[in-house]
Amino acid sequence: MFLGIAAIPFIYYALAIFSSLRFFGATRAKADRTGAFLPPVSNLKPVRGLDPEAYENFASFCRQDYPNYEVLFCIGDTSDPAFPVLQQIVRDFPDCQIRIVIGSGRNATNDKVAKLTRLVEEASHEYLVISDSDVRVAPDYLRKVVAPLEDPKTGAVTCFYVPIKESTWVQRLQDIGMLSDFYPGILVAKQLDGVKFALGPTIATTRTRLEAFGGYASIENRPADDLLVGRLIAEQGHEVELLPYTISTVADYQSLNELFHKRLRWITVMRHMRPWGHLGLIFTLGLPWAILAVALLPTIMVAAIYLGGYLVVRAVLTVLVGSWGLKQPGIWKKLALIPLWDGMASLIWLTSFTRRTIRWRGQNYLMRDGELVLPLEV
């Protein structure tokens, strides 16, 4: 009976492989879609603190091959270390419509969402593209993410993200985790229930779609605004489209400890927002189940089926998503990191059950009833 339960992750992996094949096979033609739909766009960027290579990240949004767009930054105050960089961006791109908004003007727990509320109010255009400060994009970015919004059924657009470069083995570990674990999970969710979420590095939508659920002001005290925006737009009866298109992010961590706590913050939020789904992740963790199966019945056949099978399907899934789907180079060189990632992911999952707080941008928050609460307010 235990060996049967230990085989459940293989069912999940098979579904992940099927979902990945179906998604990338069906959407490959969409990767090159741009079309003639080029409405004026407001690109909204909340900023707090100075990310690595911030200038190049910001500058990439000012080099867009797009006829009419503006870039709006919102920063807490002029003492923020990112402010001089934003001023330099304004000086270096005089032909680009750039505005820096100081302060959100709101009393909200989630500083990022408060800034987005202000940015939406300040935006000049109906079509909005929201992106994180650590994102870097190609000149065709706006054309790619705005094009699907021509269809009135589409309420929002989101896409994958990959590292701009990998200078340490920890960054390679994070990349293999995204390609072998996070993205396959997203594609399984899409296959089973459709896209009812968005990914924070990029969300393209409209002011009308945001206003339909109350806008960012309605979620300014909650975590995971990206997931919520996608969910709330989908609940309005609109489609959220996941593009087979990648943008780049610059790593904001250097050590294994920093990566561990970055991922722990994310999964702790997910535990509070989707408790049953979070609990079900136990059946997606193939490595501990394979090890337990071999420990229970230490034979060559069991080891070959469970441990050998685990290594094969994990490698196939990672190559499928990373190399074939997202066209990322050098995936084969990082496959040996998969068991290390899966071991760490299992530990992070277990640790998340002990956490009620998260730390983001130097601030501690308590999770209570699906909302963020500053510890001093408890």
- Evaluate whether residue 374 is within a structural domain: no
Tokens of 18: 């099927």
CA gap 204, 128 in Å, rounded: 6
- Evaluate whether residue 375 is within a structural domain: no
CA distances from 124 to 119, 127, 153, 218, 376 (A): 10, 9, 23, 21, 37
Quick check: 272 pLDDT over 90? no
Does residue 186 sit in the same domain as residue 321?
Answer: no
- Evaluate whether residue 116 is within a structural domain: yes
Does residue 72 sit in the same domain as residue 141?
Answer: yes
Does residue 235 sit in the same domain as residue 156?
Answer: yes
CA gap 177, 339 in Å, rounded: 10
- The arithmetic mean of pLDDT across residues 172-195, rounded, is 95
- Evaluate whether residue 63 is within a structural domain: yes
- Evaluate whether residue 123 is within a structural domain: yes
Quick check: 56 pLDDT over 90? yes
Q: How far is residue 150 CA from its own chain's centroid?
A: 24
**What is residue 148's predicted lDDT score, i.e. its pLDDT?**
94
Note whether 210 and 226 are within 8 A (CB): no
Question: Final residue of a domain: which of 199, 224, 252?
Answer: 252
Beta bridge partners of 367: 372
CA gap 378, 375 in Å, rounded: 5
DSSP class per residue in 61-103: TTS---SSEEEEEEES-TTSTTHHHHHHHHHH-TTSEEEEEE-
Q: For 110, which DSSP code?
A: -
pTM: 0.92
Number of Cβ within a 10 Å radius of residue 266: 16
Burial of 59 (0-12, 13-18, 19+ CB in 10 A): middle
Does residue 207 sit in the same domain as residue 62?
Answer: yes
Does residue 192 sit in the same domain as residue 309?
Answer: no
3-state DSSP call for residue 134?
Answer: coil
Does residue 144 sit in the same domain as residue 291?
Answer: no
- Evaluate whether residue 373 is within a structural domain: no
Does residue 218 sit in the same domain as residue 280?
Answer: no
- Evaluate whether residue 370 is within a structural domain: no
Q: Which amino acid is at 238?
A: H
Tell which wins on pLDDT, 155 or 269: 155
- Evaluate whether residue 15 is within a structural domain: yes
Angle between helices 309-319 and 286-296 (to 10 degrees): 170
Quick check: 378 pLDDT over 50? no
Does residue 179 sit in the same domain as residue 215?
Answer: yes
- The arithmetic mean of pLDDT across residues 146-175, rounded, is 94
Count of domains observed in the chain: 2
Residues of the domain holding 242: 29-252
Nearest Cα to Cα of residue 247 among 96, 140, 93, 98: 140
Note whether 58 and 31 are within 8 A (CB): no
- How far is it between the farthest Cα atoms of the chain? 69
Percent of the chain past pLDDT 70, that is, above it, reads 97
CATH number (domain holding residue 99): 3.90.550.10
Does residue 243 sit in the same domain as residue 189?
Answer: yes
pLDDT tens digits for range 276-331 = 889 999 999 999 999 999 999 999 999 999 999 999 999 999 999 999 999 999 99
CA distances from 307 to 167, 300, 317, 339, 364 (A): 30, 10, 15, 10, 40
Does residue 15 sit in the same domain as residue 36?
Answer: no
Does residue 160 sit in the same domain as residue 225?
Answer: yes
**What is residue 31's predicted lDDT score, i.e. its pLDDT?**
60
Note whether 163 and 249 are within 8 A (CB): yes
Does residue 46 sit in the same domain as residue 186?
Answer: yes
